[in-house]
């Protein structure tokens, strides 16, 4: 029998290796930027088209390559950065595997232009899918330019797998920020589809952070400094009251390399113990310098996770250093604490009452037209079907009113069109268009549940989830039918965001306008909000937007529906009345009634149960 094992041809091996190194355009950005840094550049330009799908180009003024190196750099395991395995333990460069360019060249069209200072002329090489297309001598400035076009042109499955432009662009910006933050001594600039995204002059670390994240970053930060035998720490952490809703401003750098570490993150969070509101996240930019031999960066192909020799000690030192800085800051004058007190109440009733509710009701609607006998068994079964499937049952609303003891007693005396009196009940701060029957007896339990008697038992409504459901349906409706009510602000709000966040807001502009936001994006990285949806108070605006950005950061809208859905979900989550908030009777009633006027009543937008019922028989059994 003939032998069947064969060596894979190089271009195939490279394509396979590429899968590890290049997941998306942002991976190319990272590799090229790191190579430029390693080449000693002081000026690095990143040019991107169509979120990297069409072009990723990095131009540097570093040392360039001679003609042999310019050819060699595309070979696998071709690197100038290590010579032997031991060098791995004394690594001061970002690269070392010699794999990136070979991988990229295997799955894209690559154009390299490079010239060394001492040379008169440079070299221009074109490679497509590992195949050399041309090589010429050319007049070029000193340095290197890599242009990567049509990424994944020969792996359609991968190309199709790429996410929307917003998402890919966000990944690119993340990579750019990480490299730029690690090297403030290098001038970085970035352009996307012909317009400037960043221009970051050579500066110190603090200035670099401020240039990237803009706005109030400077006043947010306190310095963190510590030097011990095993680690030198420098950088900044944010004052607790500037904590964000998301983790987008948390950075560790070890020997100028961005890394992720859940363990070290935990150390920081424990330094903030007791200083942060639930779920809020401090910003931090911490630069650790350790002896290269005390870490192993070789454990992860994309090199963002590393192993430390003495993790426990590092944890303790880091925690103490941050704690110390925050402590120092706490004795500083209280003037810095100037904050809007209404932010402390997640749902601001005082402001919310300024809303102008509209009441819609169907005058012809007769809840008792459905004259099926209301036997207890029938009610409970219709209810439990509705409840257990978690699906949308339009009929449930019709049955719902018949569950009320009060309504049933008045059955004969209520005229068909006699629901006007309920309009008064509905004119409330929480809901705009409740038009079904209302409950009138409610009781709040544990500042978490609203209990209300129904015929043959009681209903227990989860206040937070029920309100989420109500708001979610309202917002979704506003976005899709494009008529969210807006209230104009007397003084427009200026909110500051980083470039990445501004871009995301810009992408959502239509949907946000539909829900009732009126705003303009300003060149200087601020959003000027002049109108807000009627059920959002001024003090909640930045909270809502921050939450939205962080939700979008972690998840990905692929279609306009999923974008609308996500915006509605996120806003409902930020604005829904929280557990722990005392509700007056009116608000309790509105939540219960609002919930049962929803299309889907059984679950909140995050698929958690909104209410349950207890039948009198169940109670009887307890006696």
Enumerate binding residues for Mg ion (CB under 5 A).
Answer: 35, 95, 100
Q: Draw the binding track, 12-41, toward ligand ADP (x: CB under 6 A; -: no contact).
A: -------------------x---xx--x--
Question: Among residues 146 and 272, whose Cβ is nearest to Mg ion?
Answer: 146
Among 61-69, 119-127, 169-177, 247-255, the segment contacting ligand ADP (CB under 6 A): 61-69
Quick check: 66 binds ligand ADP (CB under 6 A)?
no
Q: 180: part of which helix (H) or strand (E)?
A: helix 165-182
Residues 111-170 close enough to bind ligand ADP by CB under 6 A: 144
Quick check: 586 binds ligand ADP (CB under 6 A)?
no
Among 95-103, 428-436, 469-477, 491-499, the segment contacting ligand ADP (CB under 6 A): 95-103
Nearest Cα to Cα of residue 327 among 275, 267, 264, 249: 275
Shortest Cβ 64–ligand ADP spacing (Å):
6
> Binding residue for ligand ADP (CB under 6 A) from 24, 97, 239, 245?
97
Tell me the C-alpha distance between 290 and 283, whole Å.
22
Quick check: 80 binds ligand ADP (CB under 6 A)?
yes
Beta bridge partners, 60, equal: 44, 144
Residues 408-467 close enough to bind ligand ADP by CB under 6 A: none
Q: Are 479 and 604 in contact (CB under 8 A)?
A: no
Nearest Cα to Cα of residue 532 among 562, 472, 491: 491
Shortest Cβ 74–Mg ion spacing (Å):
12
Query: Scanning the structure block, which residue is given the tokens 């088209």?
Result: 49
* Phi-psi region at 143: left, alpha or beta (left = phi > 0; alpha = psi -120 to 50): left
Shortest Cβ 178–ligand ADP spacing (Å):
16
Query: Scanning the structure block, which residue is given the tokens 């998402």?
Result: 167
Among 60-68, 391-399, 426-434, 441-449, the segment contacting ligand ADP (CB under 6 A): 60-68
Residues 511-530 close enough to bind ligand ADP by CB under 6 A: none
Query: Scanning the structure block, which residue is given the tokens 């242009």?
Result: 147
Q: Are 452 and 458 in contact (CB under 8 A)?
A: yes
What is the DSSP secondary structure assignment for residue 241, as one 8-state letter? G
Question: Among residues 98 and 346, whose Cβ is nearest to ligand ADP?
Answer: 98
Quick check: 62 binds ligand ADP (CB under 6 A)?
yes
Tell me the C-alpha distance between 330 and 272, whole Å.
12
Question: Among residues 95 and 498, whose Cβ is nearest to Mg ion?
Answer: 95
Beta bridge partners, 349, equal: none
Question: Among residues 31 and 587, whose Cβ is nearest to Mg ion?
Answer: 31
Distance in angstroms between the alpha carbons of the first and the last residue of the chain? 83
Shortest Cβ 22–Mg ion spacing (Å):
12
Cα Rg, the chain, nearest whole Å: 30
DSSP readout, 345-395? SSS-HHHHTTS-------TT--TT---S---HHHHHHHHHHHHHH-S--HH
Q: Nearest to ligand ADP by Cβ — which residue?
A: 95
Q: Draw the binding track, 323-362, toward ligand ADP (x: CB under 6 A; -: no contact).
A: ----------------------------------------
Chain contacts with ligand ADP (rule: CB under 6 A): 31, 35-36, 39, 60, 62-65, 69, 73, 78-81, 95-101, 144
């Amino acid at each position: 029998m003939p032998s069947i094992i064969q060596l894979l041809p190089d271009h195939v091996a490279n394509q396979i290796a590429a899968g590890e190194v290049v997941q998306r355009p942002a991976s190319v950005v990272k590799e090229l930027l790191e190579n430029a840094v390693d080449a000693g550049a002081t000026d690095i330009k990143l040019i991107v088209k169509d979120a990297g799908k069409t072009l990723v180009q990095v131009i540097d003024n570093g040392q360039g390559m001679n003609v042999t190196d310019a050819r060699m750099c595309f070979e696998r395991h071709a690197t100038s950065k290590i010579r032997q395995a031991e060098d791995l333990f004394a690594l001061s460069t970002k690269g070392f595997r010699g794999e990136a360019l070979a991988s990229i060249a295997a799955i894209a069209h690559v154009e390299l232009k490079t010239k060394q200072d001492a040379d008169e002329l440079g070299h221009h090489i074109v490679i497509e899918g590992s195949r050399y297309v041309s090589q010429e001598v050319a007049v070029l400035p000193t340095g290197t330019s890599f242009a990567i076009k049509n990424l994944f042109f020969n792996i359609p499955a991968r190309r199709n797998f790429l996410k929307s432009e917003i998402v890919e662009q966000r990944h690119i910006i993340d990579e750019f920020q990480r490299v730029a933050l690690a090297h403030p001594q290098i001038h970085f600039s970035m352009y996307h589809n012909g317009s400037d995204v960043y221009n970051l002059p050579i500066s110190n670390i603090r200035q670099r952070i401020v240039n990237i994240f803009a706005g109030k970053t400077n006043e947010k930060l306190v310095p963190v400094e510590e030097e011990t035998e095993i680690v030198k720490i420098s950088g900044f952490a944010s004052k607790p009251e500037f904590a964000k809703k998301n983790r987008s401003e948390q950075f560790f750098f070890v020997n100028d390399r961005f890394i992720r570490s859940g363990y070290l993150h935990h150390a920081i969070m424990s330094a903030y113990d007791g200083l942060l509101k639930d779920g809020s996240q401090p910003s931090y930019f911490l630069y650790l310098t350790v002896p290269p031999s005390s870490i192993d960066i070789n454990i992860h192909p994309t090199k963002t996770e590393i192993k430390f020799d003495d993790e426990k000690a590092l944890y303790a030192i880091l925690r103490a250093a941050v704690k110390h800085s925050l402590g120092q800051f706490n004795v500083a004058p209280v003037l810095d604490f100037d904050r809007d007190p209404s932010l402390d109440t997640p749902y601001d009733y005082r402001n919310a009452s300024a809303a102008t509710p509209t009441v819609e009701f169907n005058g012809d609607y007769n809840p008792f037209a459905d004259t099926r006998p209301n036997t207890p068994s029938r009610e409970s079964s219709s209810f439990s079907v509705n409840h257990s499937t978690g699906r949308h049952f339009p009929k449930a609303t019709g049955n719902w009113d018949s569950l009320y003891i009060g309504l049933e007693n008045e059955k004969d005396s209520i005229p068909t069109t006699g629901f006007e009196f309920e309009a008064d009940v509905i004119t409330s701060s929480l809901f705009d268009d409740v038009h079904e029957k209302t409950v009138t007896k409610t009781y709040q339990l544990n500042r978490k549940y609203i209990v209300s008697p129904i015929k043959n038992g009681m209903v227990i409504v989860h206040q937070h989830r029920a309100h989420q459901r109500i708001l979610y349906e309202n917002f979704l409706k506003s976005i899709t039918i494009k008529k969210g009510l807006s209230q104009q602000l007397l003084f427009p709000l200026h909110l500051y965001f980083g470039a990445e966040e501004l871009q995301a807001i810009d992408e959502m502009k239509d949907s946000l306008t539909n829900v009732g936001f009126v705003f303009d994006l300003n060149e200087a990285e601020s959003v000027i909000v002049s109108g807000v949806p009627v059920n959002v108070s001024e003090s909640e605006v930045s909270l809502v937007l921050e939450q939205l950005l962080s939700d979008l950061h972690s998840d990905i809208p692929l279609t306009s529906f999923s974008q609308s859905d996500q915006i509605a979900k996120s806003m409902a989550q930020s604005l829904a009345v929280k557990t722990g908030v005392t509700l007056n009777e009116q608000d309790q009633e509105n939540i219960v009634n609002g919930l049962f006027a929803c299309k889907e009543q059984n679950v909140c937008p995050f698929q958690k149960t909104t209410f349950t019922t207890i039948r009198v028989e169940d109670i009887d059994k307890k006696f």
